Structure 1
Amino acid sequence: MDYSRFNNENSITYTNQFYNASGQLVKAPFIFRNGTPTRVKILAGKVDYTYPFNSKMKLETGVKSSYVTTDNDFRSENFDGANWVNDLTQSNRFTYKERVNAAYANLHKEFKSTTIQLGLRAELTNSEGNSVTLQNVVKRNYLDLFPSLAIQQSLSKDHEIGFSYSSRINRPDYQSLNPFIYFADLYTFSKGNPQLKPEYANSLELSYGYKKTTNITFGYIHTKDVMTTTLLTDTVKKTLLIYEQNLASRSTVSMNVNRPLAITSWWATTNDATLYYSRFSSPDLLGAPFKNGKLTFMMNTVQTFTLNGTMNAELSANYQSAQVFGTYVARPIYGVDLGISKSFADKKAAIKLSASDLFNTRKIRVKSAIPFQDYNLSQKQESRIFRLTFSYNFGSSGVKAVRERPNSSEVEQNRVKSGH
């Protein structure tokens, strides 16, 4: 049983000054601030039970219940030159309650060269989003069943194949439901959507393994009511709204190859390549049908070097070609990371120097995929970071590590965004 509580006091002041081409002020500055105090409380508990029929067959069952409440009091104030004045047109209070009760059962059976697992999970959800200021309440009550199937077949000592089917639900982040406006500047802002629905995904996967080193996987995922970030333009006000909403569906076909390789006694490499085609569609988006699809290639390689018995180095590089995210297209992104470590004092102490995004190339660039919209967005975060770390192990290497305790509220905690 777990109880988690998150408190976030976020306050931002925006100072907007307007100049002409000569650098002269053309009107009085516009200054405002937004305060977004957020409270999230999560109470969750679960019980799991395993019944072994024999050494080859077992039944796994369990129940889980979670209760989440959030309270967000968004305050917007304008500065009139002497005092801060509350802006009632922007301020709003939003509360959210969610209760999920779930139960599952998995039957696991091993044969001579085949392993089969059948599963079923049921989830009953009750939620209520209340925009107190706007007097708008959104209630939802629904029951879902999620079956699953996994088959693993050993063909020989070096070859095995697998097949799996699963279905799942992904619920929105709590802050994505808040109908508040968060400003990046006067012309770029985001807004939550209390009407946002969870998305449902059904996935199929076929895998092949060779000598437990080379793995090839083919996958297909179809997601209904896919949650996506939509960028909407207002050509009159010259603004860009970042808005969370549901599109009708997303379909993805993929192939992945993973291959570790020992080149020499001191040089090992792990390579992972994925090729996938993803397609978003909706019968009505801004008054017109919408479709957006693209073939994407992703590559990640890690090179590990053992320089001597106490010194190691690691070089990793990744590349991601252009891909689609709902209503926009992201341009290629790539980068290189580097690290070197040295251990001493009988390997109890270690010092490590690392650099992420060594050449400072990871830059987010997107453009619209909606035909009658035209925008380009570029964002460069602080991705090139150098770190020097030192660690020392005071414990005995003969003492077993403490077993990590399962967290019954991990899924709910992952739906809490930082910042907003």
Structure 2
Amino acid sequence: MNNRVFIILLFFTATIWAQNKETLISGTLVEAETGQPIPYATIVLNDTNSKATISGAITNDNGTFEINTTADNFYIEISFIGFKTLQLRTFETIENRVSLGKVKLYQDSETLDEVVVRGEVSKTEFKLDKRVFNVGKDLSTAGASALEVLNNVPSVNVNIEGEISLRGTGGVQILINGKPSVLADESSNALGTITADMIQSIEVITNPSAKYEASGTSGILNIILKKEEKKGWNGSISLNTGIPDNHNVGVSLNRRTEKFNLFTQIGAGYRSLPRDNEAINRNLENNEVIFSEGENFRNETFFNITLGTDYHLNEYNVFTLSGNFAYEIEDQPSETNFRFFDGDNTLVSQWVRNETTDATNPKWQYEFNWKKQFKNNKDHTFQLSALGSFFGKDQSSLFEDTTIEGENVDSNQRTATNYQQADFTFKTDYTNPLTEEYSIETGAQYVINDVGNDFEVEDLVDGEYVINESLTNDFEWIQKVLGVYATLSYENDIWGVKGGLRIENTDLETLLANTNDGSSQNFTNFFPSFHTSYTISETFSLQAGYSKRIFRPRLRDLNPFFNIRNNFNIRTGNPELQPEFTNSYELTSIYKIGKASMSSSLYHRYTTDVVERVSTFIDNVNFSTPENIGTNSSIGFETNGKYSPTKWLTFTGDFNFNYFDRKGTFEDQVFDFNGNQWSTRLGTKLGLPADIDLEINGNYRSDFETVQGKQSGFAFLDLGMRKKILKGKIVANLGIRDIFASRIQENFVNQPTFETYNFGQRGRFFTFGLSYAFGKGEAISYSGRRR
């Protein structure tokens, strides 16, 4: 009896022990098509009989998972958005371990379609002084880069080479979370390290309010990033080649965790930029003519690295620290042929001018930013940022004139340039939504531009080089701009109004150190802005805005320095140049018709102290110098649209027409005239079978009258093709810029005593690139474009 009881107790003890024994289930989840790991997928254990959930886990950054369970009657269910759900009911248990190895998930297009149908599609909201494009899951789950997201924003176009335009115009300022950023630097494709699932929204600003600095751009695109949970790795390697020479390699990496977003990009390459030039100087008083034509190159070997991090201290505080360093080695050979004819059309002399130029250009940029959100409202924020940059150039040139026919003009010259530019921007912004309808913004910005350019010219005289004092100058330029602003806005679901005022003080000093000639300007200006909007429906909205803008002369406008590559056509600066001011009025309608989105604007701009280049003619030499000449009043119409009848076909277009009325005088010469100018761009993007995208863009810019002559119009066509391999893990790009080599710069000056003609052309460019992605997301291209 006792033995029988002992055996029964032993049986029950073993049974209970076996039931409490844990089983470990492990495996790695990968995409069936590419073999790439799938992070953050859901693994669930369900009871075989009741279907009830027993336990669960989520895959880590590498796609691996582990689950412990004491259950012995279960099946495994694996799911992730965009993929078919997988159930595993047959598996082997060895020593209380279930090792699944690599588990493959297959993409499910139907699931993605369901996501779109549920209303999580990217869409645009109309705000007072901007449009907000909210990124939906149709983009954020597709592994796209920030550039591809921008290409889905109405009025924005990104070509295959990554160049961004807004309403058909380049020169767009890119902000990250409302501030300048190393990530938005156009000298590399660092923006590509941001993937769509990191982006919350993109703000499109075409007529900036007083919050933004008053110096003008064609518009602002502000990319708002999410504060999110773990995002894992994102990386890409790119190889590119082209004709003329354009070869580079780049590596982009991004690592996002709960606390950190680490990003880096490293690139190196070689590029050659040829340019054909032609010029004619005709003296109408004695009928002498000088013809010149030639070709020059800018050959560059370059290296750059970008490194930075966002640190989320807590839910309300984010710090950003980043930097970029680049180094360029330049070689600029050129050859220009000259012919000089006298008044009887007799050849006096023919010679060739050869240039040999070498330069090194170090560049760096660094950024610090702190953004604080307050607990009462996510839109209640304070932001402090500092951005610094430096650019240097150490350049030497040798010019040799060799006579071919006629009078002897043999001569040699050499130049040396030491250029240094340092820029610093300090900025604070405070936004407080007082109520659901009322909001205030205030802040300040201080910008310092410090430039020095030491330019020396030497002539070969009796076998020795002697300084040419008339051409040598040491120019220093320091500009400091302090701006403060405040805005107040009211906005409900239907309409809103926003008013603001920005005050900027400009302190500008220039000095020609070799002659001790200097000038100083200090002026304070008020820049009001006013915006209102009225939303008629989800598909139609009206916006109206006014702002005052300023164009401050740039260094090349002020610096007397000139290049003597062609010493019969010399471009100089004007240290006495004044800024130009523009009052800008705009009425815009934004509407959607089916699958088409369009924006049309009527605008009026009135500009004073217009900066124009004026030619003067001395001893058959054409000097081109910027001057302030009168006013310009323009009235224009602009429309642009995007139409996608199917997922694989998109049409884009822009059209801009303006009529201008110029009034002004210069040195007793009256420049009163009127005219018009128009431009258009038409593009199509076609999704072909086998994951091939084709893009064709055609552009036309009309001719227009200038203060002394005429600027010719031109048309050009660009083509691009992209092939995705392994669901975008490998991307091949082919591009042809200016297919017909028709993009030209042609300028005529017609005056009573002289005429000049200038022509320039870059020619046709072919590019081919391969990019390979690792981690998550699609391949990110690195172009290594020039800053």
Is TM-score (shorter-chain normalized) higher than 0.5? yes
Q: Following the alignment from structure 2 to structure 1, what is the Cα–Cα distance between the partners of residues 418 and 715? A: 36
Match of 1:4 in 2: 389
Q: Following the alignment from structure 2 to structure 1, what is the Cα–Cα distance between the partners of residues 763 and 441? A: 43
Farther-moved stretch of structure 1 (175-184 vs 302-311): 175-184
Identity value in percent: 23
Q: Following the alignment from structure 2 to structure 1, what is the Cα–Cα distance between the partners of residues 635 and 565? A: 35
Is 2:398 the partner of 1:16? no
Offset of residue 77 of structure 1: 0.5
Q: Following the alignment from structure 2 to structure 1, what is the Cα–Cα distance between the partners of residues 551 and 645? A: 41
1:19-42 Cα distance to aligned partner (Å, 9 max, x none): 4xxx35x22512112222111112
Q: Following the alignment from structure 1 to structure 2, what is the Cα–Cα distance between the partners of residues 365 and 81? A: 40
Offset of residue 320 of structure 1: 0.9
Is 2:477 the partner of 1:96? yes
Of residues 278, 282, 292, the one that matches 2:660 is: 278
Match of 2:40 in 1: none
CA contact (8 A) 2:401 2:409 kept: no
Q: Following the alignment from structure 1 to structure 2, what is the Cα–Cα distance between the partners of residues 45 and 199? A: 24
CA contact (8 A) 2:671 2:707 kept: no
Match of 2:636 in 1: 254
Flag the 1:226–1:111 CA change in 2: closer, same or farther, 3 A: same
Match of 2:436 in 1: 55
What is the SS of the residue equivalent to 1:241? strand
Offset of residue 190 of structure 1: 1.1
What is the SS of the residue equivalent to 1:361? coil
CA contact (8 A) 2:478 2:509 kept: yes
What is the SS of the residue equivalent to 1:182? coil
* Amino acid of the structure 2 residue aligned with 1:5: F
Task: Compare the two structures and name the one with the higher strand fraction.
Answer: 1
Flag the 1:320–1:371 CA change in 2: closer, same or farther, 3 A: farther
Match of 2:720 in 1: 339
CA contact (8 A) 1:231 1:328 kept: no
1:335-367 Cα distance to aligned partner (Å, 9 max, x none): 000011101122111001000000101111111
Is 2:537 the partner of 1:156? yes
CA contact (8 A) 1:99 1:125 kept: yes
What is the SS of the residue equivalent to 1:9? strand
Match of 1:391 in 2: 771
* Amino acid of the structure 2 residue aligned with 1:291: D
Is 2:756 the partner of 1:378? no
Is 2:615 the partner of 1:231? yes
Q: Following the alignment from structure 1 to structure 2, what is the Cα–Cα distance between the partners of residues 197 and 47? A: 28
* Amino acid of the structure 1 residue aligned with 2:704: Q
Flag the 1:73–1:355 CA change in 2: closer, same or farther, 3 A: same
* Amino acid of the structure 1 residue aligned with 2:533: Q
What is the SS of the residue equivalent to 2:741? coil
Match of 1:181 in 2: 562
Is 2:503 the partner of 1:125? no
CA contact (8 A) 1:150 1:162 kept: yes
Is 2:600 the partner of 1:220? no
CA contact (8 A) 1:131 1:137 kept: yes
Offset of residue 186 of structure 1: 2.4
What is the SS of the residue equivalent to 2:557? helix
What is the SS of the residue equivalent to 2:627? strand
Match of 1:408 in 2: none
Q: Following the alignment from structure 1 to structure 2, what is the Cα–Cα distance between the partners of residues 208 and 36? A: 50
Give the aligned length.
393
Task: Compare the two structures and name the one with the higher helix fraction.
Answer: 2
Of residues 559, 579, 582, the one that matches 1:201 is: 582
1:116-147 Cα distance to aligned partner (Å, 9 max, x none): 11111000111111112222111111111100
1:302-336 Cα distance to aligned partner (Å, 9 max, x none): 11100025110001101111124443421111100
Q: Following the alignment from structure 1 to structure 2, what is the Cα–Cα distance between the partners of residues 194 and 328? A: 25
Q: Following the alignment from structure 2 to structure 1, what is the Cα–Cα distance between the partners of residues 673 and 396? A: 37
Flag the 1:140–1:182 CA change in 2: closer, same or farther, 3 A: same
* Amino acid of the structure 2 residue aligned with 1:86: I
Q: Following the alignment from structure 2 to structure 1, what is the Cα–Cα distance between the partners of residues 441 and 503? A: 14
Match of 2:698 in 1: 317
* Amino acid of the structure 2 residue aligned with 1:227: V
State TM-score, norm by structure 1. Answer: 0.88
1:394-413 pair list within 5 angstroms: 394-397=774-777
Q: Following the alignment from structure 1 to structure 2, what is the Cα–Cα distance between the partners of residues 233 and 211? A: 54
Offset of residue 263 of structure 1: 4.4
Flag the 1:370–1:123 CA change in 2: closer, same or farther, 3 A: farther
Q: Following the alignment from structure 1 to structure 2, what is the Cα–Cα distance between the partners of residues 199 and 349? A: 48
Aligned-residue CA RMSD (Å): 2.1
Match of 1:266 in 2: 648
Match of 1:407 in 2: none
Which structure has the greater CA radius of gyration? 2
Question: Which structure 2 residue ranges, 5 or more long, are not aligned?
Answer: 1-385, 781-785
CA contact (8 A) 1:204 1:220 kept: yes
* Amino acid of the structure 1 residue aligned with 2:777: S
State TM-score, norm by structure 2. Answer: 0.48
1:272-299 Cα distance to aligned partner (Å, 9 max, x none): 11111133321x2232111243212211
Flag the 1:324–1:61 CA change in 2: closer, same or farther, 3 A: farther
CA contact (8 A) 1:229 1:327 kept: no
* Structure of greater relative contact order (alpha carbons < 8 Å, 6+ residues apart): 2
Q: Following the alignment from structure 2 to structure 1, what is the Cα–Cα distance between the partners of residues 753 and 567? A: 23
